[in-house]
Structure 1
Amino acid sequence: MKAAKSILASVIAINVVANVALAQNDVAGMITQINRLNGTVAIQQIQDNTVGASTGGPTEEFKVQDGKLLDAVHAGDRVTYSLAGNGSKTITKLQKR
């Protein structure tokens, strides 16, 4: 029974670490709309280095953790961004490409 608990605890720990690591990945996209008053930005996700990279997925709206991140970008800019962990739609890092 102790071995089973130990294995289960290890699997859970690996799962948590993997989810945190995945949350830190940068995603490429193009800004379609910025609302500086509300601190939100709409970004269309694009695929990097593929044929037809100009066509992207659906546009999603994200909250920005720090409104100063929006000062350096404009609609139409291609950016890379990172989201906060735990599946929230909050951008923690936003960089112009």
Structure 2
Amino acid sequence: GAVKVDLEDVAVGGVIRDDQGRWILGFNKRLGQYFVFNAGLWGIIDGLLLLKNRPCDKLLIRTNSTEVLQAIHEASSLTSFSALIRRVHNLFQEVGH
């Protein structure tokens, strides 16, 4: 997901594409005042929620936050103190990846 910060007002969004890079759908959501790290996680969560009922053989997540990707990669769904990271891991399983 992408993050835009404007006067402390945070929004997230993203694009879902097929394996050829063709646009399938886009999404965005206003979060209000929020930490950028958590907003990045919400962008990923929203994208995964949209994929739950769609056929998907492979999944590639791109974000401009290496901290978000590192936190997701290093934490497990059972040991993470972050409810958002646990949600990402649970959605990975639900999507089938």
With the length of structure 2 as denominator, give the TM-score of the two structures.
0.27
Quick check: which one's strand share is greater? 1
Q: Over alpha carbons, which structure has the higher Rg? A: 1
Quick check: which one's helix share is greater? 2
